[in-house]
C-alpha cells in the first residue's frame, strides 16, 4: 500500500492526514496530526453479520497518559478503566457516526481512537471524530460518511472554531457540533445563559466549518479508499410479516393509544407474545429456523408499534398519552424530603420522577481528575443514577455505565453555569440524582430536581435551571416537533433534543438524531418550543422554592475564611503538621483547608468551633506593629529586662529603663511572671525581634526632664553617691508595684 500524506490549513492550525504506513492490517486506519496533537484512528469489522436485533458498533477513545507527559496515577501506574472524560468522548464520537450506517447492517464494527500526543489547545476529541470518519470511509466497511465535528466558542462577541483552553474558559458558549456537509446530526453544548438566537448562530458557524472538514475527508477518500465489502442487510422473513399483519397488527396499533404507560406496555407485550406463539406454530424447516422466526415476530411486532406511534403523531397530531404536541405532562415539585440531608428535592413530570440530594463538604473533598485534559479537580459534581426498578425491571446494578455518565455530565454542565464561585461559596458540592421512576426525559428531570435541592441546601446559585427534552417525527417532507417526550416517543422518534436553561437563556444542549441530519429550520422551531416549555416548568418549580436559603442546613458544615500571608503558612501548619493537628484536636475535629496562596477555609457544623480555630490561627499569624499598644503578659524576668507575651507566638523585650518614668533599679522588684502590663511597640529589628515600652503607656510626670545619660567616667562616682539616690530607688519601687502588680488585698 502506497503511503499517503497531505496537510491543510484549518482556521490557523495545520491538519495532516497519513494513511498506508501505520496499522495496515486494520480495515481502515489514519494518523491525524492537528499541530502537536496526534491521534491514530482505526476501523475494523467482522466478515459475517451477527444474529442480533441491533447494530453492534463499539467506539473507543483511548487516553494514553504519555501523550501529555504524565505517568498514570494509582497503584499499577498504567492506564486501566477509561476515565469519565474518555467515556464521554467515546459517546461523542459514536453519536454522529452511528446514524450513517445502513438500516439492517449487522456486521460487528469497532472504531478505536488512540491519543499519542496532545496539545490542550488542539482538540484531540474533534480530531477523533474526524479520524473515525476517515478510517471508516477509507476502509472496506459500508459507511455513508464523511462526518466531522468542531467546537465553537463565543469569545468576546466572536465565534471561534476550536477555541484554546484559555478562550474556552472565557467563552459564553462552548458548543460541540457534528454532522455531514448536508446537515447537523449531533450537538453538545454548555452556555452562560445565552439566547436561542446566539445558539443558532453558533450552530450555523459550526456547520460551515464542518463542511470544510468534510471536503478535506473527500480528498483523502478519493486517494485512499478501498472497495467496500459486500454485505447482506438484515430483513424480517415475509412469512412472519404476513402472519402478524393478518392476525395482530391492528390490535397492536390500537393498544398504542392506551394512555397509562404500564397498561399500554403490558397490553402490547401480551399481543406480541401471542404473535410469537402463532408464528412458532407454523411449519418451519428445523428448530433453528423456528427460533429465528419467533425472534423476528417480536421484532416485527415492535416495528408495527413504532409505525403506529409515528403515524399518529405525524398525520393525526395525536401523541400516545393524548397530549398536544407542545404540551407538558403534569408537574410536581417538592423540597426537604430528607431531614438529615443538606438539601433535598423531588421533581415529578408525568411518569418520570427524580429525587436529588445535595451534599456540601470542604474544598478538599473536590474530585481529583487524572486524564489528558487540563482540569485537575472538580469542585461541583452532579451524578445520575438509573436503577432498573425505575422502569419496573430486574437488572444489573453496579458501577455507572456510559448512559449514566453521559446524563450526569449533561446535568452537571447545565447547573455549572449558575454555580457560585469558590470565593463566594468555598464548598465542594455534590448533587446525586436518584431516578425513582422513568418514562423519558429523566436527565432533564434530574436538572430540575438538582436546582431545587441546591437552593434548599443554601447554595447561592445565580438562577433556577430547568430542562426539557424535545422530540421529532419526520415522515417524507413533513415533520412534527414534540415537547417533553416520553420513552416511547424517544425510542421510536427521530430526535432527542435536550434543552436546559434559566429564564434568561440556555445553559446546556444535547442533541442526538437517528436520521442523517436536520435542518436549521427544525432547530429554530425546536428551540422556540423548548423555551415555552422551560418557562412553564420554572413556574412550577418556584411553587416549591423560589430562591436559595440564606443559611446552609444545621447538618451541613458551616464555614469561615481568612487569608494567611504565604510566609506564615508554615507557622500555622507547624513542623510535620504538628501545629495544625493541635488546632484540629482543640476544636473538635474542625476541617481546615489551606491553599498555597494562603487562602484558608475552616469548616465545622458548630460555629463556635470555627470561631475558636480562626482566632488561634489569627493569633499565630498576627504581627506586632510599631506604635501599637498591647495588654501583654510577663513570661520571663531577668535582672535588667523582662520578656512579655504580646499575643500567642510573639514575645517582646521590655528593658528596665522602659518600665517607668521614674528610675527602677531592679525590674524583678516590680514585675513577676504572669503579671499583666500595658506596653507599646517601639522597635522591630530585621530579625523580627520586638522591643516595647511600658512608660510610654503612662502619663509623663509634670515637669519631667529626661536625664542625661552619664559618661563612662562618671558612672563609678554615681554608684557611691549619697542617700538621696537610695531614697529615689525605694520610692520608685513602691510606686511601680502599685501600678503594675495587682495585690490580693486589692
- Tens digits of residue pLDDT in 364-406: 889 988 888 888 889 999 999 999 999 888 888 888 888 999 9
Letter string b/e over residues 641-678, b meaning 16 or more CB atoms within 10 A of that residue's CB: bbbbebbeebbbbbbbebbbbeebbebebbbeeebebe
CB 507 within 8 A of CB 417: yes
d(CA 544, CA 542): 5
Residue 243 gets which letter from DSSP?
Answer: H
Q: What is the pLDDT of residue 320?
A: 83
Lowest mean pLDDT segment, chosen from 129-133, 181-185, 621-625: 621-625
Sign of CA dihedral 577, 580, 586, 589: negative
Whether the per-residue pLDDT at 723 is higher than 60: the answer is no
d(CA 325, CA 408): 27
DSSP 3-state percent helix, strand, coil across the chain (nearest 5): 35, 30, 35
Whether the per-residue pLDDT at 638 is higher than 60: the answer is yes
d(CA 201, CA 159): 9
Letter string b/e over residues 20-30, b meaning 16 or more CB atoms within 10 A of that residue's CB: beebeebbbbb
pLDDT digits (tens, 9 = 90+) for 466-498: 999 999 998 888 899 999 999 888 989 999 999
C-alpha separations of 575 from 478, 569, 571, 581 in Å: 75, 11, 8, 10
C-alpha separations of 95 from 149, 446, 470 in Å: 11, 22, 17
- As beta bridge partners, residue 436 has none
Locate 436 and state its grid cell: 425513582
Whether the per-residue pLDDT at 192 is higher than 60: the answer is yes
In 3D, which of 585, 624, 617, 581 has the Cα closest to residue 602? Answer: 617
Q: Which residues contact 319 (CB under 8 A, 6 or more apart)?
A: 312, 313, 325, 482, 489
Spans of all domains in the chain = 4-163+171-224, 238-316, 331-542, 558-621, 629-740
pLDDT digits (tens, 9 = 90+) for 521-536: 999 999 999 999 999 9
Letter string b/e over residues 518-552, b meaning 16 or more CB atoms within 10 A of that residue's CB: beeebbeebbebbbebbebbbebbeebbeebbeeb
Q: How confident is the model at residue 222 (pLDDT cuts 50, 70, 90)?
A: very high
Per DSSP, the three-state class of 365 is: helix
Q: What is the pLDDT of residue 743?
A: 38
Q: How confident is the model at residue 738 (pLDDT cuts 50, 70, 90)?
A: very low
Helix (H) / strand (E) element for 112: namely strand 107-117
Whether the per-residue pLDDT at 724 is higher than 80: the answer is no
Sign of CA dihedral 180, 181, 187, 190: positive
pLDDT digits (tens, 9 = 90+) for 105-116: 999 999 999 999
Locate 452 and state its grid cell: 431545587
Per DSSP, the three-state class of 352 is: strand
Whether the per-residue pLDDT at 733 is higher than 80: the answer is no
In 3D, which of 212, 201, 134, 206 has the Cα closest to residue 177? Answer: 206
Q: Which CATH class is domain 558-621?
A: alpha beta
DSSP letters along 34-71, please?
ETTEEEEEEEEEEEEE-S-SS--EEEEEEE-GGGGT--
CATH number for the segment(s) 238-316: 1.10.10
| Higher-scoring residue by pLDDT: 80, 192 | 192
Q: How confident is the model at residue 732 (pLDDT cuts 50, 70, 90)?
A: very low
Q: What is the pLDDT of residue 134?
A: 98
The three state secondary structure string of 148-173 is: EEEEEEEECCEEEECCCHHHHHHCCE
Same fold, 4-163+171-224 and 331-542: yes
Burial (0-12, 13-18, 19+ Cβ within 10 Å), 335:
buried
CATH number for the segment(s) 331-542: 3.30.230.70
pLDDT digits (tens, 9 = 90+) for 291-321: 999 999 999 999 999 999 898 898 888 888 8
Burial (0-12, 13-18, 19+ Cβ within 10 Å), 467:
buried
pLDDT digits (tens, 9 = 90+) for 418-430: 999 998 999 999 9
Average pLDDT rounded to a whole number, residues 708-713: 54
Locate 156 and state its grid cell: 468576546
Lowest mean pLDDT segment, chosen from 20-29, 201-210, 316-325, 587-596: 316-325
d(CA 429, CA 425): 10
In the sheet that 495-501 helps form, which strands lie side by side, from edge to edge?
158-161, 148-155, 173-179, 184-194, 506-513, 495-501, 466-475, 478-483
Q: Which architecture, in CATH terms, is 629-740? A: Beta Barrel (2.40)
Average pLDDT rounded to a whole number, residues 3-24: 96
What number of other Cβ atoms are within 10 A of residue 33's Cβ?
19
Residue whose cell numbers read 436546582: 451
User: What is the distance in angstroms between the CA of the first residue and the CA of the last residue of the chain?
Assistant: 106
Locate 391 and state its grid cell: 422502569
Q: How confident is the model at residue 78 (pLDDT cuts 50, 70, 90)?
A: confident
The residue count of the chain comes to 746
Q: Is the pTM of this model over 0.85?
A: no
Locate 741 and state its grid cell: 502588680
**CA-based angle 550:554:557, to the nearest 5?**
90
CATH number for the segment(s) 4-163+171-224: 3.30.230.70
> C-alpha 485: how far from its chain's center?
26
C-alpha separations of 723 from 199, 591, 726, 728 in Å: 98, 65, 5, 9
d(CA 135, CA 421): 43
CB 134 within 8 A of CB 220: yes
d(CA 142, CA 129): 17
Average pLDDT rounded to a whole number, residues 129-137: 98
In the chain, pLDDT over 70 holds for what percent of residues? Answer: 94
Average pLDDT rounded to a whole number, residues 122-135: 97
> C-alpha 681: how far from its chain's center?
51
DSSP letters along 276-308, please?
HHHHHTS--SSHHHHHHHHHHHHHHHHHHHHHH
User: Taking all residues of the chain, what is their mean pLDDT, rounded to a whole number?
Assistant: 90
Helix (H) / strand (E) element for 198: namely helix 196-224
C-alpha separations of 74 from 64, 241, 365, 475 in Å: 15, 55, 18, 52
Cis preceding-peptide flag for 422 (omega within 30 of 0): no
> C-alpha 710: how far from its chain's center?
76
> C-alpha 192: how far from its chain's center?
15
| Higher-scoring residue by pLDDT: 34, 518 | 34
d(CA 65, CA 120): 13
- As beta bridge partners, residue 30 has 41
Amino acid at each position: 500500500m502506497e503511503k499517503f500524506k497531505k496537510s491543510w490549513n484549518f482556521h490557523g492550525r495545520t491538519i495532516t492526514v497519513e494513511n498506508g504506513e501505520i496499522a495496515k492490517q486494520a480495515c481502515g486506519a489514519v494518523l491525524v496530526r492537528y499541530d502537536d496533537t496526534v491521534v491514530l484512528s482505526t476501523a475494523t469489522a467482522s466478515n459475517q453479520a451477527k444474529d442480533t436485533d441491533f447494530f453492534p458498533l463499539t467506539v473507543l477513545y483511548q487516553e494514553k497518559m504519555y501523550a501529555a507527559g504524565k505517568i498514570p496515577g494509582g497503584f499499577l501506574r498504567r492506564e486501566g478503566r477509561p476515565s469519565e472524560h474518555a467515556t464521554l468522548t467515546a459517546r461523542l464520537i459514536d453519536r454522529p457516526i452511528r446514524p450513517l450506517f445502513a438500516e439492517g447492517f449487522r456486521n460487528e464494527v469497532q472504531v478505536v481512537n488512540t491519543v499519542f500526543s496532545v496539545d490542550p489547545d488542539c482538540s484531540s476529541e474533534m480530531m477523533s471524530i474526524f479520524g473515525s470518519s476517515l478510517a471508516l470511509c477509507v476502509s472496506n466497511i459500508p459507511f455513508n460518511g464523511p462526518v466531522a465535528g468542531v467546537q465553537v466558542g463565543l469569545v468576546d462577541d466572536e465565534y471561534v472554531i476550536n477555541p484554546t483552553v484559555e478562550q474556552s474558559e472565557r467563552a459564553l458558549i462552548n458548543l460541540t457540533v457534528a454532522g455531514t456537509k448536508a446537515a447537523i446530526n449531533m450537538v453538545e453544548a454548555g452556555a452562560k445563559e445565552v439566547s436561542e438566537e446566539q445558539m443558532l448562530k453558533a450552530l450555523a458557524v459550526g456547520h460551515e466549518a464542518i463542511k470544510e472538514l468534510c471536503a478535506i475527508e473527500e480528498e483523502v477518500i478519493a486517494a485512499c479508499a478501498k472497495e467496500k465489502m459486500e454485505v447482506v442487510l438484515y430483513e424480517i422473513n415475509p412469512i412472519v410479516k404476513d402472519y402478524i399483519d393478518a392476525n395482530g397488527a391492528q390490535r397492536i396499533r390500537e393498544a398504542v393509544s392506551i394512555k397509562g404507560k404500564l397498561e399500554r406496555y403490558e397490553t402490547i407485550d401480551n399481543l406480541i407474545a401471542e404473535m410469537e406463539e402463532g408464528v412458532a406454530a407454523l411449519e418451519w424447516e428445523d428448530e433453528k429456523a423456528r427460533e429465528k422466526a419467533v425472534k423476528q415476530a417480536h421484532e416485527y411486532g415492535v416495528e408495527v408499534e413504532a409505525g403506529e406511534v409515528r403515524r399518529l403523531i405525524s398525520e393525526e397530531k395525536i401523541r400516545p398519552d393524548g397530549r398536544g404536541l407542545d404540551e407538558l405532562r403534569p408537574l410536581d415539585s417538592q423540597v426537604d424530603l430528607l431531614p438529615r440531608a443538606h438539601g433535598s428535592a423531588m421533581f415529578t413530570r408525568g411518569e418520570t420522577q427524580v429525587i436529588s440530594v445535595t451534599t456540601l463538604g470542604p474544598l478538599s473533598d473536590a474530585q481529583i481528575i487524572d486524564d489528558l485534559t487540563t482540569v485537575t479537580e472538580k469542585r461541583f459534581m452532579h451524578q445520575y443514577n438509573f436503577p432498573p426498578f425505575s422502569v419496573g425491571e430486574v437488572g444489573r446494578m453496579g458501577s455507572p455505565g456510559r448512559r449514566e455518565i453521559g446524563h450526569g455530565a449533561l446535568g452537571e454542565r447545565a447547573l455549572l453555569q449558575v454555580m457560585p464561585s469558590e470565593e463566594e461559596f468555598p464548598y465542594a458540592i455534590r448533587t446525586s440524582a436518584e431516578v425513582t421512576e422513568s418514562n423519558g426525559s429523566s436527565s432533564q428531570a434530574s436538572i430540575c430536581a438538582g436546582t431545587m435541592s441546591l437552593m434548599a441546601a443554601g447554595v447561592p446559585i445565580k438562577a433556577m435551571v430547568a430542562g426539557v427534552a424535545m422530540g421529532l417525527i419526520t415522515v417524507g417532507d413533513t415533520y412534527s416537533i414534540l415537547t417533553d417526550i416520553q420513552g416511547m416517543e424517544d425510542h421510536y422518534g427521530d430526535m432527542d433534543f435536550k434543552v436546559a436553561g434559566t429564564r434568561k437563556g440556555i445553559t446546556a444542549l444535547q442533541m442526538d438524531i437517528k436520521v442523517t441530519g436536520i435542518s436549521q429550520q427544525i432547530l429554530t422551531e425546536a428551540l422556540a418550543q423548548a423555551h415555552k416549555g422551560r418557562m412553564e416548568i420554572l413556574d412550577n418549580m418556584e411553587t416549591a422554592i423560589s430562591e436559595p436559603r440564606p443559611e446552609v442546613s444545621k447538618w451541613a458544615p458551616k464555614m469561615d475564611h481568612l487569608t494567611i500571608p504565604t510566609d506564615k503558612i508554615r507557622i500555622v501548619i507547624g513542623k510535620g503538621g504538628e501545629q495544625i493537628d493541635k488546632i484540629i484536636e482543640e476544636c473538635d475535629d474542625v476541617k481546615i483547608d489551606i491553599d498555597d496562596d494562603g487562602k484558608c477555609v475552616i469548616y465545622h457544623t458548630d460555629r463556635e468551633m470555627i470561631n475558636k480555630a480562626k482566632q488561634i490561627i489569627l493569633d499565630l499569624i498576627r504581627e506586632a506593629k510599631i506604635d501599637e499598644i498591647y495588654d501583654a503578659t510577663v513570661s520571663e524576668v531577668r535582672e535588667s529586662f523582662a520578656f512579655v507575651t504580646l499575643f500567642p507566638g510573639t514575645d517582646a523585650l521590655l528593658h528596665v529603663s522602659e518600665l517607668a518614668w521614674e528610675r527602677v533599679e531592679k525590674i524583678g522588684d516590680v514585675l513577676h511572671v504572669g503579671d499583666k502590663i500595658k506596653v507599646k511597640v517601639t522597635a522591630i529589628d530585621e530579625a523580627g525581634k520586638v522591643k516595647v515600652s511600658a512608660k510610654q503607656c503612662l502619663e509623663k510626670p509634670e515637669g519631667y526632664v529626661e536625664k542625661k545619660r552619664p559618661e563612662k567616667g562618671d558612672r563609678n562616682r554615681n554608684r557611691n553617691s549619697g542617700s538621696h539616690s537610695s531614697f529615689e530607688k525605694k520610692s520608685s519601687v513602691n510606686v511601680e508595684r502599685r501600678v503594675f502588680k495587682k495585690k490580693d488585698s486589692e
